[in-house]
Amino acid sequence: MIYLDYCATTPMRDEALETYVQACRSFSGNEQSLHDYGEEAKQLLHYCREEIAALIGGHPHGVYFTNGGSDSNITALLSLAYGNSARGRHIITSPFEHPSVYQALGKLQEEGFTVEEAAAKPNGEVCLESIASLIREDTILITVCHASSETGVIQPLAEIGKLASDAVFHTDAVQTFAKVPLDVTALRLDAISMSAHKIYGPKNTGACYIAPHVRWKSIYPGVSHQDGFKPGTVDVPGIAAFTTAARVMHDQLEANRDRWQNMQRSFLQQVDEETFTLFGDPVKRLPHHLALGARGYEGQWMLLECNRRGIAISSGSACQSSLSAPPKSLLAMGYTPEDAHSLFRISFGIHTTDEHLEKTAAALQEITARSQTNV
């Protein structure tokens, strides 16, 4: 089967698997224990924090490990909102966020916080003028994803960071970490969310970065692990495997980007532009992501037809609670519900070949041609 759903998840790479096995064998202690086994695990965890921080231009003391991207988003946003609530209760976001971001913001709204969404531009970027107009004296938090999992469009974080002023600026970097250049200082970011299984690491492992100078309040009273950020014994082997995957992926960033961008261009040349539409900016996008729509066809139907032919694609975020609703991001960009329902996503990975994409393009052409013939 041809797998083209790498934005949903990735298989663990050999280097990460080897690190995991070695860490399980050699670092089995609880990193909070005071004996030598615990100290060895603690030292490995410290090394992992240093490595992750180095990849994003951050400080090791700001790295907290989580159970994945959704956990990072929810825990970070709640902790940041509670920690800064004395200054205000106004939050700004975008219509391009992962469902976990909206889950966290929904809870905050129930607790009396005000959440406003900035407008979207037709190319899938958030409107900077809209963000500027929404900022108030009591704005304490701005959260805008680095790139949407649905559209693949990369957001202008540096420009948003300049507007943020005294507000804490958070981004969901799950789709971009170690695949797109990311420097928290250059982008003026205070906090970011990351995930291991998007970069060939283990599932149920991730990280959150909160700059040491930023205020936050634990959502887990009385917890001692990771300065109270997350409860429970830390999965040191999983974190070590995550760190290895991140380092290898980051080292191959430029080579992967160039190869995937060539694949993007080649694929789009192989499908009929009269039938297939690319959603979002054709340039300011993830190099391994294509958000497509076939005119007159449901995205879920295209997914099922591809699956019948041995090709795995997606019809949106794997974490969506309802696939029957049209993607919110496309509606915000000005598409009709019918157009938005046509979305399907093809995402490449390190194992994707030109032959995989040629077969997929041919299958898409065959699917639409056959259905038109049967009308």
Find the mean pLDDT for residues 44-57: 97
What pLDDT is stored for residue 316 in this prediction? 65
Q: Are residues 212 and 266 in the same domain?
A: no
Q: Are residues 323 and 261 in the same domain?
A: yes
CB of 172 within 8 A of CB of 149? no
- pLDDT, tens digit (0-9, with 9 covering 90-100), for 349-370: 999 999 999 999 999 999 998 7
208 noted as active-site residue:
no
Q: Are residues 235 and 284 in the same domain?
A: no
CB of 273 within 8 A of CB of 286? no
- pLDDT, tens digit (0-9, with 9 covering 90-100), for 68-122: 999 999 999 999 999 999 999 999 999 999 999 999 999 999 999 999 999 999 9
Q: Are residues 278 and 340 in the same domain?
A: yes
The whole-angstrom separation of Cα 81 and Cα 108 is 8
Q: Is the pLDDT of residue 323 over 80?
A: no
CA within 13 Å, CB half, 145: 32
Active-site residue, selected from the candidate residues 7, 48, 208, 319:
319
What's the structural domain count of the chain? 2
* Domain housing 341: 2-8+253-374
CATH number for position 343: 3.90.1150.10
Q: Are residues 347 and 220 in the same domain?
A: no
Q: Are residues 285 and 238 in the same domain?
A: no
Residue where a domain stops, chosen among 228, 250, 272: 250
Q: Are residues 260 and 304 in the same domain?
A: yes
What pLDDT is stored for residue 277 in this prediction? 95
CATH number for position 56: 3.40.640.10
Enter the pTM of the model: 0.94
What pLDDT is stored for residue 6 in this prediction? 97
Residue where a domain stops, chosen among 193, 222, 250: 250
pLDDT bucket at 321, cuts 50 / 70 / 90: very low
Q: Are residues 324 and 202 in the same domain?
A: no
Q: How many residues can be counted in the chain?
A: 375
pLDDT bucket at 28, cuts 50 / 70 / 90: confident
Q: Are residues 237 and 258 in the same domain?
A: no
pLDDT bucket at 317, cuts 50 / 70 / 90: low
pLDDT bucket at 33, cuts 50 / 70 / 90: confident
Residue where a domain stops, chosen among 204, 235, 250: 250
Q: Is the pLDDT of residue 208 over 80?
A: yes
What pLDDT is stored for residue 375 in this prediction? 44
